[in-house]
């Protein structure tokens, strides 16, 4: 606006941002333009006012940078289509070009009146101006390339005001911002010169590192210079203006000046010591000069008839390459000025900086590489070739410089064709492929240039050929000089075996030829070469042929050869490795049983191949029973192993111990324990049982825990029987484990009652079990058994059965224990409600605890354990219902043995025919006692007299019987626990003939016969020791 305000509005005309210029109405705004570049992070607005200022703003209204002062009133502002430049015109009657940051670059065109409008053609460099007098002018802008190159560093102008230095090898780039128009650039070693409109800046590298890209200002020459070309040296800058060359120091002091006879067309620094560098200068009249910075006199090198376009000097300064205006490349010897060769279609040329005889030139879209006097090698290339360093050619295409990797294969092969191995090696060092290196190495080796061949093979890391060259060099040091023999070795290594054999024969080294053929498994050629020889040589050849057949892919042929040669072990090894079991068993059957080593090897391979039948047959043939046992064990053929162990007991340990371990690994621990026991490994058997017992208790499997404790007790009994030293200790353990087995067996029912919603036991059974457990619990309660659960179950069953006094006692005991939260409410309620019940127990329950020896009624709970409070006689319980059985244990008088006692009891004469039916055989091994009548008169029974005792005694007086009493007993009234040694048999007399009792012949637990039959039918085994009913005792 005229008042100096910029208003930014949306498409509906609503103002979003307002920018107020400092000049106000004195600086009316005549032109604004948005930067169209998509690369900018923010939208940028250029504002030109008649306060002669150019400013830039972001969309938010924030100014970017400072105001740019103009020297005229601007009337129009226009961006190039990519936003990189600005065109502006106004009262100065001209259109000027600016950078996008407002830096003035120059004048586009001058007019006769004010320039009121200017526009740039999209995506082009055409600018159109409109003037006040009606003039319309169109200009095309041409942006020339301003750049400089030295070896692998290339500097070029970017955005007219910046200089980018590019390292052509590492592809690193660094930007130097000059903020003024860059007119000329020169680069040399660690120096960089940039000419600006009013000064020249000299930069240097921070360090001497070849890859360093950090430049800093060394000097500033604040003078305006007009020149066509700018060259920088270590300590000077060289200005070229038409025919004149001026040498200035970095302090702007003119030290030298040369005036040429013609226009200078090309100038290049060709190196030299600091302050004494040499320049190569080409003139329009064809003269080529060499000028040293410290020498006022130019040196004429050549005089051509045509103008010079491009020049370069070889690395050793002995050759000069010139491209003239007719695009002809000429190469001269500088010393003799002789023309070495010339090539057409060249517009630029460069010598290889690392190889004296190689140059390249470009023209007509081709890159040409020439080595020495060989023909030119061509390949397509876009652009303009400006440098040649090693295997890299620097190519300028439009505005970008790139390093092109060019394999030097073609010139290398040109040298190889002429057997110039050292020169070819120099070319290869510039950059060739691995296959080219190998070709060079091979050619040099065949040409007996071992030094070059060695270097080339080192490049491709071929140790085999390096060893050959090393051995040849060692032989030469020892005085050998037969080149044909050396060449024969080379041919042999290269695979030219027939040529090598001919050379060996020519040099009298037939043995080497024979060794070569046999090593190569060329046995037919070996036979032809040797001809008719002695049998020893033939045998050696046959052996080597068999070895070859083994190592080659013909193992079957090798095996057959070994067999025919009697080498059974080698044949077996080949056949076994390939798994030919049929061939192997044929060999094993043909071998004599005395040949143990081949047979053992056959058996080993059969095991490996899992042909266990063949392995068993082989071991049987050898008579190696131990190996046969191991085979059966390893293959898990336990039946065969058991048969062998039965026939040969010495292998019992070798069979049953692995069998037990295998069972344990397969979670069959009970069987494993039995197997350990069978193998005589009592320690392992006990260890397995103890672990099983512990796991069962931890997992609340109390039924299993009871069973395992019973097995442990029987294990201890076996150890006590076999080991005199441990007898006492093992018998104590037997008693303890028997006790624990019974405790866990009964607690299983209590645990199921308290933890599960339903119980299979009737209340009387649970009542009896709880009382039995509490009577038998000592101070040390076994792990897993809960006194709370037991008292809780007892309290509930006592209440149900009318034992209110016992229930009250149980609740009182529970109050003193730590009660789980799930029982707390029930126990609290029971403790209260039991108070409403009578303070006595049911008479029927008390009568059930009568002692069958002294007829005393015992309390329901007894602190002294499961014995009578009067006579101290231990109660005998049924192992299912835990009711007291009408049995009294009696002991034999001194001098009566078990066998005699049984024979005396068997002498009894039956009183009636009915007594013959009192014993029932449950099966072959179990005995059931059924007493359906007793003695009519107790006085007739001598045993009843023996049960009498002294009243009031505190010690238990056992019932002891004599021979006459034993003779008077009925066999059907007596139950005998026939414990194995070292335990004594236990005798029990039934006092109620009408009660049928069954005893398990394995664990010796007593049952009511009906209960036992039911449980056996349910479980198919004894409920206590789990002995199957069909197992012989």
| pLDDT of amino acid 752 | 81
Where is 175: in which H helix or E strand? strand 173-177
Cβ atoms 55, 67 nearer than 8 A: yes
| pLDDT of amino acid 67 | 87
Where is 16: in which H helix or E strand? strand 15-20
- Phi, psi dihedrals of residue 724, rounded to the nearest 5°: -65, -40
| pLDDT of amino acid 485 | 75
- The answer to whether residue 930 scores a pLDDT higher than 50 is no
What integer best gives the mean pLDDT of the chain? 79
What is residue 687's three-state secondary structure?
A: helix
Work out the average pLDDT over 647-666: 55
What is residue 715's three-state secondary structure?
A: helix
pTM of the predicted model as reported, rounded to 2 decimal places:
0.48
Distance CA 784, CA 806 (A): 24
| pLDDT of amino acid 915 | 42
Where is 105: in which H helix or E strand? strand 104-110
Q: How far is CA 355 from the centre of its chain?
A: 49
| pLDDT of amino acid 88 | 94
DSSP 877: B
**pLDDT band, residue 611 (cuts 50/70/90):** low
Give residue-wise pLDDT tens across range 907-928.
865 554 444 444 444 444 454 4
Cα–Cα separations (whole angstroms), residue 480 to 174, 472, 484, 488? 61, 9, 11, 14
**pLDDT band, residue 1013 (cuts 50/70/90):** confident
- The answer to whether residue 187 scores a pLDDT higher than 90 is yes
**pLDDT band, residue 234 (cuts 50/70/90):** very high
Cβ atoms 230, 195 nearer than 8 A: yes
**Worst-scoring range by mean pLDDT, 118-132, 141-155, 385-399, 994-1008?**
385-399
| pLDDT of amino acid 938 | 44
DSSP labels for 539-595?
Answer: HHHHHHHHHHHHHTT-HHHHHHHHHHTT-HHHHHHHHHHHT-HHHHHHHHHHS-TT-
Give residue-wise pLDDT tens across range 491-535.
777 777 777 777 777 777 766 766 676 666 566 566 555 555 555
Q: Which two tokens stand for residue 197?
A: 């409109």
| pLDDT of amino acid 155 | 92
Q: What share of the chain is helix, strand, coil (3-state, %, to 5)?
A: 40, 25, 35
Work out the average pLDDT over 304-326: 90
Give residue-wise pLDDT tens across range 961-980.
888 888 888 888 888 888 88
Distance CA 280, CA 266 (A): 8
Work out the average pLDDT over 462-466: 83
């Amino acid at each position: 606006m005229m008042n100096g305000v910029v208003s930014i509005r949306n498409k509906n005309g609503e103002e979003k941002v307002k920018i107020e210029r400092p000049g106000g109405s004195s600086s009316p705004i005549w032109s604004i333009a948005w930067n169209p570049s998509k690369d900018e992070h923010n939208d940028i607005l250029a504002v030109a006012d008649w306060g002669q200022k150019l400013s830039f703003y972001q969309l938010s209204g924030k100014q970017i940078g400072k105001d740019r002062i103009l020297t005229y009133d601007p009337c129009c502002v226009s961006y190039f289509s990519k936003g990189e430049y600005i065109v502006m015109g106004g009262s100065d009657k001209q259109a000027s070009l600016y950078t996008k940051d407002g830096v003035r670059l120059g004048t586009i065109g001058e007019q006769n009146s004010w320039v009121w409008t200017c526009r740039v053609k999209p995506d082009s460099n055409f600018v159109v101006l409109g003037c006040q007098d009606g003039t319309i002018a169109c200009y095309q802008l041409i942006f020339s390339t301003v750049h400089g190159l030295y070896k692998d560093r290339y500097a070029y102008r970017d955005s007219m005001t910046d200089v980018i230095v590019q390292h052509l090898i590492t592809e690193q780039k660094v930007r130097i911002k000059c903020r003024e128009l860059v007119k000329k650039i020169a680069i040399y070693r660690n120096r960089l010169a940039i000419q600006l409109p009013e000064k020249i800046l000299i930069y240097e590298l921070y360090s001497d590192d070849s890859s360093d890209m950090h430049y800093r200002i060394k000097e500033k020459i604040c003078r305006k210079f007009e020149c066509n070309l700018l060259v920088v040296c270590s300590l000077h800058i060289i200005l070229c203006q038409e025919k004149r060359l001026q040498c200035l120091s970095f302090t702007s002091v003119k030290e030298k000046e040369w005036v040429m006879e013609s226009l200078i067309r090309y100038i290049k620094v060709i190196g030299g010591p600091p302050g004494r560098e040499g320049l190569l200068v080409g003139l329009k009249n064809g003269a080529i000069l060499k000028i040293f910075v410290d020498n006022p006199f130019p040196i004429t090198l050549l005089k051509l008839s045509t103008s010079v376009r491009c020049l370069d000097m070889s690395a050793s300064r002995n050759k000069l390459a010139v491209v003239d205006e007719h695009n002809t490349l000429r190469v001269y010897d500088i010393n003799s000025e002789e023309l070495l060769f010339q090539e057409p279609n060249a517009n630029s040329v460069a010598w290889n900086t690392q190889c004296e005889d190689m140059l390249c030139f470009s023209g007509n879209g081709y890159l040409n590489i020439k080595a020495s006097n060989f023909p030119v090698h061509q390949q397509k290339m876009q652009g303009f070739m400006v440098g040649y360093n090693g295997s890299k050619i620097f190519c300028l295409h439009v505005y970008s410089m790139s390093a092109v990797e060019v394999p030097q294969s073609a010139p290398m092969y040109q040298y190889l064709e002429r057997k110039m191995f050292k020169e070819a090696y120099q070319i290869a060092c510039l950059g060739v492929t691995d296959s080219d290196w190998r070709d060079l190495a091979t050619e040099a080796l065949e040409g007996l240039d071992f030094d070059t061949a060695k270097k080339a093979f080192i490049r491709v890391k071929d140790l085999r050929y390096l060893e050959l060259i090393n051995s040849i060099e060692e032989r030469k040091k020892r005085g050998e000089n037969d080149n044909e023999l050396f060449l024969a070795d080379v041919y042999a290594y290269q695979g030219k075996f027939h040529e090598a054999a001919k050379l060996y024969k020519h040099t009298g080294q037939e043995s080497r030829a024979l060794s070569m053929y046999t090593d190569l498994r060329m046995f037919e050629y070996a036979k032809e070469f040797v001809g008719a020889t002695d049998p020893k040589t033939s045998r050696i050849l046959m052996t080597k042929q068999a070895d070859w057949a083994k190592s080659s892919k013909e193992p079957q042929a090798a095996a057959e050869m070994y067999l025919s040669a009697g080498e059974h072990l080698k044949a077996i090894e080949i056949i076994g490795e390939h798994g030919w079991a049929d061939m192997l068993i044929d060999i094993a059957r043909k071998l004599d049983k005395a040949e143990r080593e081949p047979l053992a090897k056959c058996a080993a391979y059969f095991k490996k191949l899992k042909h266990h039948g063949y392995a068993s047959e082989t071991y049987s043939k050898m008579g190696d029973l131990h190996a046969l046992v191991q085979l059966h064990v390893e293959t898990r053929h336990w039946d065969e192993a058991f048969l062998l162990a039965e026939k040969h007991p010495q292998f019992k340990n070798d069979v049953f111990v692995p069998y037990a371990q295998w069972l344990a690994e397969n979670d069959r621990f009970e069987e494993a324990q039995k197997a350990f026991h069978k193998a005589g490994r009592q320690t392992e058997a006990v260890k397995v049982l103890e672990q099983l017992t512990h796991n069962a208790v931890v997992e609340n499997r109390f039924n299993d825990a009871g069973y395992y404790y019973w097995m442990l007790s029987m294990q201890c009994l076996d150890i006590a029987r076999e080991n005199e030293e441990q007898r006492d200790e093992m018998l104590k353990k037997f008693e303890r484990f028997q006790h624990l087995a019974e405790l866990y067996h009964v607690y299983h029912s209590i645990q199921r009652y308290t933890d599960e919603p339903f119980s299979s036991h009737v209340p009387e059974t649970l009542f009896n079990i709880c009382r039995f457990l509490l009577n038998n619990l000592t101070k040390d309660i076994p792990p897993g058994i809960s006194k709370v659960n037991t008292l809780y179950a007892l309290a509930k069953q006592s209440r149900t059965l009318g034992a209110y006094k016992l229930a009250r006692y149980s609740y009182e005991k529970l109050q003193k224990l730590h009660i789980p939260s799930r029982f707390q409410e029930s126990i609290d309620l029971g403790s209260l409600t039991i108070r409403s019940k009578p303070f006595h127990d049911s008479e029927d329950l008390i009568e059930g605890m009568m002692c069958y020896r002294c007829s005393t009624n015992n309390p329901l709970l007894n602190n002294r354990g499961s014995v009578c409070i009067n006579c101290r006689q231990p109660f005998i319980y049924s192992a299912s219902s835990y009711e007291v059985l009408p049995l009294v244990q009696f002991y034999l008088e001194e001098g009566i043995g078990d066998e005699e006692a049984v024979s005396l009891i068997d002498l009894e004469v039956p009183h009636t025919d009915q007594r013959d039916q009192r014993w029932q055989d449950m099966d072959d091994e179990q005995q059931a006692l059924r007493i359906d009548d007793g003695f009519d008169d107790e006085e007739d029974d001598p045993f009843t007299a023996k049960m009498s005792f002294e009243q009031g005694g505190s010690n238990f007086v056992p019932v002891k019987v004599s021979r006459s009493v034993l003779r008077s007993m009925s066999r059907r009234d007596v139950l005998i626990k026939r414990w194995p040694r070292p335990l004594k048999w236990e005798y029990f007399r039934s006092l109620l003939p009408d009660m049928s009792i069954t005893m398990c012949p394995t664990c010796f637990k007593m049952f009511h016969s009906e209960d036992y039959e039911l449980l056996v039918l349910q479980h198919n085994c004894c409920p206590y020791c789990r002995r199957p009913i069909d197992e012989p005792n």
